[in-house]
Amino acid sequence: MQTTSQPVDISPPGAKAAAPPPLKGAPGRASWPVLAALILPALVVYGLFVIYPIVQSLRFSVYKWNGLGPLTEWVGLGNFVEALSSRDFRAAVLHCAIIAVLSLTLQLPFALALATLLNQKLAGRGLFRTMFFAPYVLSEVVTGVVWRQLLRPDGMADRVIETIGPLIPGVSEEAVQEFIRPWLGDPAVALYALFFVLTWKYFGLHMILLLAGLQGIPSELKEAAAIDGAGPWQAFRYVTLPLLGPTIRISMFLMTIGSFHVFDLVWVTTRGGPVGATQTMATYLIDFGFGRNRFGYGGAVSILIFAISMALALLYQRFVLRRDVEGALT
């Protein structure tokens, strides 16, 4: 019989075992030159496309400049004072705030309800997920052109209302005709019609985010709640919703920031009209700044938009993100 010899430990009792020698080629702590070489390309791109434009905008904002001649007419904070005292700019900020509030109160619950529904075992749920997410894939220009045609006078939206309205019990044809109006041409309803288009375009993104959050919740917790006697609503209220909190807060942040940055869809659909009823900060920047060759004033408006966005981001990081990641890195 062939035996295999085993090494015998002859170290005295209580002695610490010697650490094994490091393997040849084992990874160690990266040196500063290596880290600098890895980070430098990203820093160069960030500085070139983010920091440099911000600095240039800040430089242009203190001059009265038409974009052609040299920077000679110094106005200091005059462009900022003019923007903050402008009724049109304040209206644009208010419109962005209205879109943000409507997104948080209507778009987010709608996306959460659909995400909860499509998280169940339903026939064809994959098809419904794709169908609801598809509008987000479309470009803003295509979406704006399509909805501008749908919402024009005597367009498809009016025809659908004229067809379905009389079928509703208690609704007469006169009431339907009174309800129909130029959706993008009436200052009283244009902003809300535009919000409907924005919801159709972007709610699919938030639905997918919330659906991913729902799928990350362990099913054992729901089963334990059911064993303890919790009904479906109680399980959702006390188990699902708290665990979905970080995802909901991220979605809220994206909605808020997006509401203050919306441009493409508004510009293609209404160009900020009628009479400024759908003007946002971004469309105001293009219309009153660069559209009128007032690049210094446009630079001041861009700095104000940046300041508002930065303030929202810092508030989110201070009061929301810090709560979500607290203890995660300890």
The token pair at 205 is 């993104």
Q: Before 246, cis peptide (omega within 30)?
A: no
- Tell me whether residue 281 is in a domain: yes
CA torsion sign, 164 to 168 to 171 to 173? positive
pLDDT recorded at residue 25: 47
Separation CA 244–CA 127 (nearest Å): 24
How many residues are given for the chain? 330
- Tell me whether residue 76 is in a domain: no
Burial of 105 (0-12, 13-18, 19+ CB in 10 A): exposed
Q: Are 317 and 250 in contact (CB under 8 A)?
A: no
pLDDT recorded at residue 303: 94
- Tell me whether residue 97 is in a domain: yes
| Residue-level pLDDT, tens digit, the chain, 330 residues | 445 555 555 555 555 555 555 555 445 566 888 888 889 999 999 999 989 999 999 999 999 988 888 888 999 899 999 999 999 999 999 999 999 999 999 999 999 999 999 998 888 888 999 999 999 999 999 999 999 999 998 889 989 888 888 888 888 888 888 888 899 999 999 999 999 999 999 999 999 999 999 998 888 888 888 888 888 888 888 888 989 988 999 999 999 999 999 999 999 999 998 999 999 999 999 998 888 889 999 999 999 999 999 999 898 888 877 766 665 555
Quick one: which of 82, 72, 99, 67 has its CA closest to 304?
Answer: 82
- Tell me whether residue 108 is in a domain: yes
- Report how far apart, in Å, the C-alpha atoms of 48 and of each of 36, 55, 59 are: 17, 11, 16
Q: What is the CATH number for 195?
A: 1.10.3720.10
Which residue carries 């390309």 as its tokens? 41
Count of helix runs (H) and strand runs (E) in the chain: 18, 0
pLDDT recorded at residue 221: 86
- Tell me whether residue 30 is in a domain: no
Separation CA 143–CA 268 (nearest Å): 9
End-to-end CA distance of the chain: 56
pLDDT recorded at residue 173: 83
Q: Are 149 and 155 in contact (CB under 8 A)?
A: yes
Helices marked H in the chain — which ranges? 32-46, 52-60, 78-85, 87-102, 108-118, 125-137, 140-150, 156-164, 173-179, 190-215, 219-227, 232-235, 241-243, 245-261, 264-269, 281-284, 295-316, 322-325
pLDDT recorded at residue 26: 47
- Report how far apart, in Å, the C-alpha atoms of 312 and of each of 63, 97, 247, 258 are: 27, 12, 18, 11
Q: pTM for the full model?
A: 0.84
- Tell me whether residue 171 is in a domain: yes
Domain that holds residue 195: 86-293
pLDDT recorded at residue 1: 45
Separation CA 114–CA 132 (nearest Å): 9
Determine how many CB atoms are found less than 10 A away from the CB of residue 217.
16
- Tell me whether residue 34 is in a domain: no
Separation CA 162–CA 179 (nearest Å): 10
Q: Which residues have CB under 8 Å from 99's CB, separation 6+?
A: 191, 195, 198, 259, 262, 280
Q: Which residues have CB under 8 Å from 165's CB, separation 6+?
A: 171, 173, 175, 176, 179
Separation CA 36–CA 32 (nearest Å): 6
In DSSP terms, 74 is beta-bridged to 63
Q: Which residues have CB under 8 Å from 17's CB, separation 6+?
A: 11
- Domain count for the chain, please give it: 1
- Tell me whether residue 98 is in a domain: yes
